[in-house]
Structure 1
Amino acid sequence: MAIREQGQGGGKRKLDAGGLTAFFREIRGLHKPEKITFLCIGTDRSTGDSLGPLTGSQLLEYGFPHVIGTLPSPCDANNLTKRMIEIPSGHIVIAVDACLGPHAAVGYYFASMEPLHPAKSVGLALPAVGHYSLAAVVDANGPKPYRTLQTTPLNRVMGMAGTIATAAAAGFGLSR
């Protein structure tokens, strides 16, 4: 997914780490926590794209019962459609994915009350997923997005994944 500018379509909100907790708290106010499934998209084979599985693994550590997409079992472009079948009936889905964006947005998060469009920045046409979406801007968009994701600093991605998991836990009232 590529974010070109804030506010473009879908009511995307640019958030810092502090705003993430409020985003998750807002969702908790609308839906029962046990009816939430996190769909964490990405692969452990690309540094920038590992945000999803890193986040998913940490969400499990916090005790979230419904998480699809972890380091041992990623949900990526090759298996997204198959993995979506695992979503329990009647669940509200929060889709989480890495994305590329403008230099000024690197390290920020774009939250939306609408589906996420995975792999858009690398030219793939995958189905839109989630009732809510969270796109983490892990690096700047450029002429070679696939290469950019391959060379994104792991420290940044790990930090952002940890921030998402911690904010989700705080927003839903969980702790380790």
Structure 2
Amino acid sequence: MYWIHPDYPDAASIFHSHLNRLIQMTNKKNGTPVYICIGTPAIIGDCLGPVIGTILSEYLPGQVYGTLDAPIHALNFNRSCREIKKQHQRPFIIAIDAALGNISQSGYILLKKGPLRPGKGVGKKLPPIGDLQITGVFQDIFDPKAGRQMAVFGKCISQGILKLYPAFQRPEQGDFVNIL
């Protein structure tokens, strides 16, 4: 389990390093990474998954589910997961969502192995999903500050994920795609 604060210098690189390590440790069958980005655009703090999904889908078509235009949320979660599992043979699922936490956890990105339990913080009973989970932790998803926090989370997580794919690095600068 790793806690990363997106305001740290090189936070996206630190996130990438931990993510890469967890994938190597847990993806023993070399399944294709599939990103399931959960949340609703209707709530600013809960649109973290769809924002990341929208960014990633531009670069990783066919591997990303849950965008601002086609979100995966409580009302379509079970159906969406069934369809995704039909489309991929032994996928390595990385689930991305916003989470609620206490004041000491708020503002951090949590990266850990094991399934994500979507909706748990708001009393939803949805089945767990994923081999790895990535969550941006908010104290209050309705707080006006949640928009800025969501953008900072989105940039760090998206850049860290895209850094897994060398094709998205800019060779002239040794840097990766600038997002947001």
TM-score (norm 1): 0.80
Alpha-carbon distance between aligned partners in 1 of 2:36 and 2:30, rounded to the nearest angstrom: 14
Is the partner of 2:111 in helix, strand or coil? strand
CA displacement, residues 56-97 of structure 1 (integer Å, 9 cap, x when unaligned): 011112335411100000000111111102321211100001
Higher alpha-carbon deviation: 71-80 or 86-95 = 86-95
Query: Which amino acid is 2:72 matched to?
Result: C
Deviation for aligned residue 1:34: 7.4
Residue number among 136, 158, 161 corresponding to 2:154 in the alignment: 161
CA displacement, residues 8-36 of structure 1 (integer Å, 9 cap, x when unaligned): xxxx3222334310133225546488711
Is the partner of 1:48 in helix, strand or coil? helix
Task: Give the corresponding residue for 2:172.
Answer: none
Alpha-carbon distance between aligned partners in 1 of 2:161 and 2:65, rounded to the nearest angstrom: 15
Task: Give the corresponding residue for 2:116.
Answer: 116
Residue number among 74, 77, 86 corresponding to 1:77 in the alignment: 74
Query: Which amino acid is 1:35 matched to?
Result: T
Is the partner of 1:86 in helix, strand or coil? helix
Residue number among 63, 68, 72 corresponding to 1:66 in the alignment: 63
Query: Which amino acid is 2:99 matched to?
Result: C
Higher alpha-carbon deviation: 119-128 or 151-160 = 151-160
Alpha-carbon distance between aligned partners in 2 of 1:55 and 1:68, rounded to the nearest angstrom: 10
Q: Which runs of 5+ in 2 are unaligned?
A: 6-10, 169-176
Question: Once superposed, what is the RMSD of the aligned Cα atoms?
Answer: 2.1
Task: Give the corresponding residue for 2:17.
Answer: 22
Alpha-carbon distance between aligned partners in 1 of 2:57 and 2:91, rounded to the nearest angstrom: 17
Alpha-carbon distance between aligned partners in 2 of 1:29 and 1:107, rounded to the nearest angstrom: 26
Query: Which amino acid is 1:169 matched to?
Result: L
Contact 1:94 1:132 in 2 (8 A): yes
Is the partner of 1:76 in helix, strand or coil? coil
Higher alpha-carbon deviation: 32-41 or 87-96 = 32-41
Deviation for aligned residue 1:151: 2.8
Contact 2:54 2:68 in 1 (8 A): yes
TM-score (norm 2): 0.78
Q: Which runs of 5+ in 1 are unaligned?
A: 1-11, 141-147
Alpha-carbon distance between aligned partners in 2 of 1:149 and 1:52, rounded to the nearest angstrom: 13
Contact 2:31 2:90 in 1 (8 A): no
Q: Report which of the two structures shows the higher radius of gyration computed on alpha carbons.
A: 2
Task: Give the corresponding residue for 1:145.
Answer: none
Higher alpha-carbon deviation: 72-81 or 156-165 = 156-165
Contact 2:49 2:97 in 1 (8 A): yes
Contact 2:46 2:141 in 1 (8 A): yes
Alpha-carbon distance between aligned partners in 2 of 1:13 and 1:158, rounded to the nearest angstrom: 20
Q: Is residue 150 from structure 1 mapped to residue 142 from structure 2 by the alignment?
A: yes
